[in-house]
Structure 1
Amino acid sequence: MSHLDEIQQAILNGRLDAIAELPVPESYRGVTVHADEVDMFEGLESRDKDPRRSLHVDDVPTPELGPGEALVAVMASAINYNTVWTSIFEPIPTFKFLRKYGKLSPLAKRHDLPYHVVGSDLSGVVLRTGAGVHNWKPGDEVVAHCLNVELEGPDGHNDTMLDTEQRIWGFETNFGGLAEIALVKANQLMPKPAHLTWEESASPGLVNSTAYRQLVSRNGADMKQGDVVLIWGASGGLGSYATQYALNGGAIPVCVVSSPEKAEICRKLGAELIIDRTAEDYKFWKNENEQDPKEWQRFGAKIRELTGGDDPDIVFEHPGRETFGASVYAARKGGTIVTCASTSGYMHQYDNRYLWMNLKRIIGSHFANYRESWEANRLIAKGLIHPTLSKTYSLEETGQAALDVHRNAHQGKVGVLALAPEEGLGVRDEELRAKHLDGINAFRGA
């Protein structure tokens, strides 16, 4: 039996106190991209680039454990858009991030390799902790958020997202969560929600924390009761959490989706005001270079029809180029457009008259700091926010999972099993789970 097998069996048999005594494997399987393949999709449109070609499952050496760090045995992980971007080498190959990080210090040099182990979510068990780690020990069941910070300069000590050396783990650093072992900083760790399986608890991390900061936190839109919140992609990885936060916080979500099936998911979450943009056939762009303000107006009229005359107080933006002009137009006077991504393109265009003359605000929001991530995970652990896992793949099928997300052929979040041999394992609080089973399973089979 290999060292990894011993670790897996100890976890599955509940012998977590034995983890500290088991040897750490010298290598493990991880999902990687290769530096010598960054040109493999040259000449192809983004939509035609296939992550199944670029994502590999390789045996890689276990990295050296540094001060303030932890090695985690990964039971499950999940797919995010940053893994898709990594796999198609857009907007730039992530090896540029790893090279830059590698110049920071001799310890950071570990990350600058000709392969990149990807993934920004995990649930698992702590294997080892480095010098100076006091809050975590081998055998602890954990999830990880993806903020990697150095905090040696002053800028990050008010909000760690402003640290000059802030990075996203598994995207701008190496040794990510789509693997059997992951390397994280100890201040990325949070308790695993006891009522969830490994794959369920792995899936919220990045998107749940991002949605919390973007919508709830004072660093984002600072949502309050009664706010009308327009949510693009309301059944997707980000939008499904935004919808839950709006409902939990006494706001009124207006959910924008692209099919009747996605609309039904939003209804399962409790939303009532839904726009099927495909059925309405909105065409915000006349051509590649010119938008159609009449379509913005038609869209705004639809929102007011649903809300009884109210424009959105907050627009939860992440599609980017395709929708941003409509978002700026649709927000009410004095309203807020808060953006965290640009999945349809980074170069936004909007009519600035609707922004300045109506005193609207655009807020940039990127992931979340440790406190925000902790609060978001605490709401998951209490059963107040639920995972949005729809489907789970094996580690060997990660390329297909990423392709599904790339082509938007998924709902909510897509999970990946690592050391967990099957779905349904890892539940410690059956009583709490039973109370929330419908919410936990809302996206299953979608």
Structure 2
Amino acid sequence: MREILDAALADADTAVEWRSVPLPNSYRALTVHRDETEIFQGIESGQRDPQVSLHLDEVPVPPLAPGEALIAVMASSINYNTVWSAIFHPLPTFVFLDRYARRGGAASRHDRPYHVLGSDLAGIVLRVGAGVHRWKPGDRVVSHCLSVELESPDGHDDAMLDPEQRIWGYETNFGGLAELALVRSNQLMPKPEHLTWEEAACSGLVHSTAYRQLVSRNGADMKQGDIVLIWGACGGLGSYATQLVLNGGAVPVCVVSSTAKAEICHHMGVEHIIDRAAEGFAFWNEDARPNPREWRRLGACIRELTGGEDPDIVFEHPGRETFGASVYVTRRGGTIVTCASTTGYEHSFDNRYLWTNLKRIVGTHFANYREAWLANRLIARSVIHPTLSATLPLDNAPLAIKRVQQNAHVGKIGVLCLAPAEGLGVTDPARRELALPQLKLFAGL
């Protein structure tokens, strides 16, 4: 592993040089263990501490299959799916790995007594499998998290509809919170040259997800002038949604949970902000029934900000806690676009407000390769910026995951894997200098 790092720091830049770097037999990786899936038995999901189940293990390097690439991971980042993996909720991810392994062949490698987590990375291609032509050893890359078979016709119009579509590092093994990672070559995209490793690693999952939800015709198909309600506008997903709305000529109404987060939105250029903590919204009564009075109060707050207009689009990802309110406040004929459901999957809403007002609920899940590529291009062109607020070493990744679980963060938390320090990996300092104010907006928060 030392030789890989030395080559990275020396900026070895030819495929021949990188092919001469020997591969180790094993690498360090953040894992959960199959024999510990019952350790939280009887504990509510919100009370489960992911730090209890996470391990930093030395694991063997997996063999390459055709169409794959082995990546030296310089940095990664934390997503909420890693929280789910760590607390074995809504079910242990070994269920996904077992199902995948039953396909046989190369898929059987994913059945291990451990699961290497992580669905983001920025790094360097070490080796490529048979049939890979676009990428070569030494290429600096980021990865999106769509792993797909494309053996069914269903996936060839939109890969997210493929019945064998999986999220890498969550529904597959050998994820990005590690020194090495195994990906399909069609997960790779060029690393934005003006970004550090940790900045480049933090956008793949959340930005691509937000892009599909808002911009793509597979999501809300956002137009200029649309009013867009964004829940959690300073979080990992919401901070990219806010930028996409602003950049797309639409009007964001950002919901945040503190005055500090409201101030960040102001610095991003947002005019309309609702501090839900200050407003004290309670969308559920003590008897666990929805509270329509609070839905109406939220709608009044929105109209007061927008000059009497309701949202054309609601960017939904909290799920159970907010979904009823989201359906209610959307304008007649508007769209609720939803993913994630981090506060719970069982949604409750009054269907009268949906059906009689001709509203639409659109479900979206990550993004196809084209959508992820276009999202990454926006970052490479400094149109959208990473929202990195903190970076921890791989040894402290369990603490970072705990912070995300508790919503005790803003933007994204990065993780250094092979990179020995922050600030490395920039190859376009001139572009970086121009983007620096936006790149530092979330820093230290």
How would you bin the TM-score normalised by the shorter chain?
Answer: over 0.9
Alignment partner, residue 9 of structure 1:
6
Cα deviations by residue, 1:268-290 (Å, 9 ceiling, x for unpaired): 11111000001001111013531
> Quick one: percent identity of the two aligned structures?
67
Distance between the aligned counterparts of 1:274 and 1:240, measured in 2? 13
Alignment partner, residue 31 of structure 1:
30
Alignment partner, residue 272 of structure 1:
271
1:346 matched to 2:345: yes
For 1:194-213, what aligned pairs fall within 5 Å after superposition? 194-213=193-212
Distance between the aligned counterparts of 2:348 and 2:34, measured in 1? 34
For 1:407-426, what aligned pairs fall within 5 Å after superposition? 407-426=406-425
1:371 matched to 2:370: yes
1:156 matched to 2:138: no
Distance between the aligned counterparts of 2:64 and 2:423, measured in 1? 31
Distance between the aligned counterparts of 2:65 and 2:282, measured in 1? 52
Alignment partner, residue 432 of structure 1:
431
2:425 maps to a residue whose letter is: G
- CA drift of 1:46 comes to 1.9
Distance between the aligned counterparts of 2:77 and 2:195, measured in 1? 15
1:307 maps to a residue whose letter is: T
For 1:30-429, what aligned pairs fall within 5 Å after superposition? 30-429=29-428
Distance between the aligned counterparts of 2:206 and 2:409, measured in 1? 15
Cα deviations by residue, 1:41-71 (Å, 9 ceiling, x for unpaired): 1122222211111111000000010000000
Cα deviations by residue, 1:364-421 (Å, 9 ceiling, x for unpaired): 0000000000000000000000000000011110100000000000000000000000
Distance between the aligned counterparts of 2:413 and 2:36, measured in 1? 25
Q: Secondary structure of the residue that 2:105 maps to in structure 1?
A: coil
Q: Which range is displaced more, 220-229 or 18-27?
A: 18-27
Q: Secondary structure of the residue that 1:211 maps to in structure 2?
A: helix
Distance between the aligned counterparts of 2:374 and 2:137, measured in 1? 24
Cα deviations by residue, 1:253-277 (Å, 9 ceiling, x for unpaired): 0000000011111111111100000
- CA drift of 1:16 comes to 3.0
Cα deviations by residue, 1:221-249 (Å, 9 ceiling, x for unpaired): 00000000000000000000000000000
CA RMSD of aligned residues (A): 0.6
Distance between the aligned counterparts of 1:177 and 1:269, measured in 2? 29
Distance between the aligned counterparts of 1:71 and 1:287, measured in 2? 51
In structure 1, the gaps of 5 or more residues are none
Q: Secondary structure of the residue that 1:107 maps to in structure 2?
A: helix
- The alignment covers a number of residue pairs equal to 443
Cα deviations by residue, 1:104-159 (Å, 9 ceiling, x for unpaired): 12210000111000000000000000000000000000000000001111110000
Cα deviations by residue, 1:65-104 (Å, 9 ceiling, x for unpaired): 0000000000000000000000000000000000000001
In structure 2, the gaps of 5 or more residues are none
Distance change >3 Å, CA 163–CA 68, structure 1 → 2: same
Q: Secondary structure of the residue that 1:253 maps to in structure 2?
A: strand
Distance between the aligned counterparts of 1:355 and 1:47, measured in 2? 30
Distance between the aligned counterparts of 1:231 and 1:260, measured in 2? 16
Distance between the aligned counterparts of 2:411 and 2:250, measured in 1? 21
1:324 maps to a residue whose letter is: F
Distance between the aligned counterparts of 2:444 and 2:2, measured in 1? 31
Q: Which range is displaced more, 284-293 or 207-216?
A: 284-293
Distance between the aligned counterparts of 1:220 and 1:288, measured in 2? 34
Q: Secondary structure of the residue that 2:314 maps to in structure 1?
A: strand
Distance between the aligned counterparts of 1:270 and 1:445, measured in 2? 19
Distance between the aligned counterparts of 1:53 and 1:291, measured in 2? 34
1:385 maps to a residue whose letter is: I
Distance between the aligned counterparts of 1:278 and 1:289, measured in 2? 20
Q: Secondary structure of the residue that 2:52 maps to in structure 1?
A: helix
TM-score between both structures, scaled by the size of structure 2: 0.99
Cα deviations by residue, 1:281-329 (Å, 9 ceiling, x for unpaired): 1111013531111111010000000000000000000000000000000
Distance between the aligned counterparts of 1:288 and 1:415, measured in 2? 39
Runs of 4+ in 1 over 3 A off after TM superposition: none
Q: Secondary structure of the residue that 1:287 maps to in structure 2?
A: coil
1:230 maps to a residue whose letter is: L
Distance between the aligned counterparts of 1:328 and 1:402, measured in 2? 30
